[in-house]
Structure 1
Amino acid sequence: MEPLRIGARASLMSLVQTAPILARLSPTPTVLRPFYDAGGDREKDRAPLDADGVFSEEIENALLSGEIDVAVHCLKDAPTHDTASLTMAAYLPRDDIRDCLVTHEAGLSLATLPKGAVIATSSLRRAAALRIHRPDIEIAPMRGPVSERLRSLDETNSDVDGLIVATCSMERLGLTHRIAERISPEVICPPLGAAIIALQTREDDMETRKKIFRLHDTTTETEAEAERTILRQMGGFCNAPLAGYCTTNRSDRATTYAVRARAFTKDGGTAIDVRLTGENATQTAMAVCRQLTGHGAQNLGTASSR
């Protein structure tokens, strides 16, 4: 039997989250191919975060050319629109969608950071939320793999007092003990597609799709499609000033979906926050988009003028 060729970005974070996928596919033989030159990961000439697909182009090209059979993506970093001939064939169960604070000095929280503390992030979403919640702290740009940012924070002469990173990243790296605070979505709204690992295949490769489908989680799929609907309708991507999430609520009588989307100016000074609940996740997401548009989200500069 030919091994299933799995492609993933070569960062420590990507490889750590891909290893359990290989184990869960057993006894199907697999081989992992790491990709070192994603535009968003390069140490030199690193692609700016102001466009869609900067983390995925290299690996998608390998999938299209037949060099690999499956591409592993963090959904929030994947292209908003499916690439022609490719499909997201499986979604793994979702992890914690919250961001978290990691500090140089132990025992601090967002509330107790001293005035003038320096928090590092290159995320427009995180920076805007911090400017609202703690306008007295400074924000410094810092990007790169989580492991690289943590090393910078831990240096004796570090210029920053803390980082905002994804909680799921710290959990996957086995570093939950470093988390100073798991931040409420009411303080920093998560990115659409947060904490979801998606497996992408060629659309016509039914054999591979069957092999990986046992890893698929239908609840995550429903939430992911609702969130990607918002991204597509509002013209968002991984570092656009647009955030939100869909949650599944089950009871004895019905299953409903709570969908939230938040559009904001890059300085965080103005925001439009819409929350709706319905029995169909995608339809509820569409209703959220209509309300965002009706309230003038396009005028905030957060979305395309569709």
Structure 2
Amino acid sequence: MPRLRIGARASAMSLTQTAPLLSALAPTPTVLIPFYDAGGDRKGSARTTLDSDGVFTDEIEKALLADDIDIAVHCLKDTPTHDTPGLVLGGFRPRGDLRDALVHRDPHMTLEALPEGTRIGTASVRRRAYLRRLRPDLETVPLRGPVDDRLATLDAGKIDGLIVASSGLDRLGLAHRISHRIPPELICPPLGAASIVLQCREDDEIPLNIAAGLSDPEAQTQATAERTVLREMGGFCNAPLAGYATSAGEQTTVRAAAFTPDGSVLIEARHTGSDAEETALTVCRRLIRHGARSLGRATV
């Protein structure tokens, strides 16, 4: 292998979070190949809706299967819930801040202190549902696109605030725009939040070994638990599901929630155990026992 070919989405966010990986690979000869046409990144009417798996990864996965790249870099929350045949997640990078962030023109504003009628931009089913539960007096405005575009919408006065991922602003060097890092007890993060994964062909030994050498065991344990919840509950990146796993020694705690898109019903479960997958399955069984399957799937 003369050069290791790294594939990533061409968005500023994706390229920024890929940069530390390229640094970690030194002195291995590498080339970064950006991809511009993932369904979720397209503009206007060509942009794929967020109601199914793989809208941000499909183009890159096809390139990986075709041997056009050796390692694909993804956000875990965007990867298909089930491994694409022939591909595996071979590396799990150290996790960022999984909390959501409020961005407001007042740098000291908090979610609780927002004035009645504040217009908050977000296209996330999860964020809208939690906002309706916590602050039904706020107005949510559908807003998608790169973070810099959403920030420009805020700065132009078209909305009053944004809720975005803390980790994304951290990675872009925009942490100073965060007014309030929202505790997960208020707005539960999406499963797979702030986690960067490396995808390889399942039979490609050299890239698999390289990815494994860059993997963080704690991040891998948490990813195993969170993907188990997604698979068991039939979730995807914008489903009415939320949750996260934390690790302490040999113990993994999994918290997950299922809800109606309007936020009127929310079912939550939490469990701690020594096996990440079994702990996640226990949480799923509790959610199902309390009616989570009847809440249905969301569309946007």
TM-score by length of 2: 0.97
What SS does the corresponding residue of 2:140 show, helix, strand or coil?
strand
Residues 193-249 of structure 1 show CA distances to partners (whole Å, capped at 9, x for unaligned) of 111000001000011111232210111111101110010010000000001011101
Amino acid at match of 1:213: A
Amino acid at match of 2:240: P
Amino acid at match of 1:293: I
Instruction: Kindly indicate whether the alpha-carbon contact (under 8 Å) linking 1:263 and 1:302 is maintained by their aligned counterparts in 2.
Output: no
1:31 aligns with 2:31: yes
Matches within 5 A, 1:1-306: 2-44=2-44, 45-155=46-156, 158-250=157-249, 255-302=250-297
Instruction: Kindly indicate whether the alpha-carbon contact (under 8 Å) linking 1:122 and 1:140 is maintained by their aligned counterparts in 2.
Output: yes
Instruction: Kindly indicate whether the alpha-carbon contact (under 8 Å) linking 1:119 and 1:162 is maintained by their aligned counterparts in 2.
Output: yes
Instruction: Kindly indicate whether the alpha-carbon contact (under 8 Å) linking 1:91 and 1:220 is maintained by their aligned counterparts in 2.
Output: yes
What SS does the corresponding residue of 2:40 show, helix, strand or coil?
coil
TM-score by length of 1: 0.95
Q: Which whole-Å CA distance do the structure 2 matches of 1:110 and 1:262 have between them?
A: 20
- Structure 1 gaps of 5+ residues are none
Instruction: Kindly indicate whether the alpha-carbon contact (under 8 Å) linking 2:99 and 2:182 is maintained by their aligned counterparts in 1.
Output: yes
Instruction: Kindly indicate whether the alpha-carbon contact (under 8 Å) linking 2:102 and 2:163 is maintained by their aligned counterparts in 1.
Output: yes
What SS does the corresponding residue of 1:180 show, helix, strand or coil?
strand
Instruction: Kindly indicate whether the alpha-carbon contact (under 8 Å) linking 2:35 and 2:59 is maintained by their aligned counterparts in 1.
Output: yes
Amino acid at match of 1:9: R
Residues 45-101 of structure 1 show CA distances to partners (whole Å, capped at 9, x for unaligned) of 100011111101000000000111110000001111100000000000111111010
Amino acid at match of 1:27: P
How many residues are matched?
297
Q: Which whole-Å CA distance do the structure 2 matches of 1:183 and 1:106 have between them?
A: 14
What SS does the corresponding residue of 1:267 show, helix, strand or coil?
coil
Instruction: Kindly indicate whether the alpha-carbon contact (under 8 Å) linking 1:264 and 1:302 is maintained by their aligned counterparts in 2.
Output: no
Aligned-residue RMSD, C-alpha: 1.1
Amino acid at match of 1:241: P
- The CA deviation at 1:104 is 2.8
Q: Which whole-Å CA distance do the structure 2 matches of 1:263 and 1:98 have between them?
A: 18
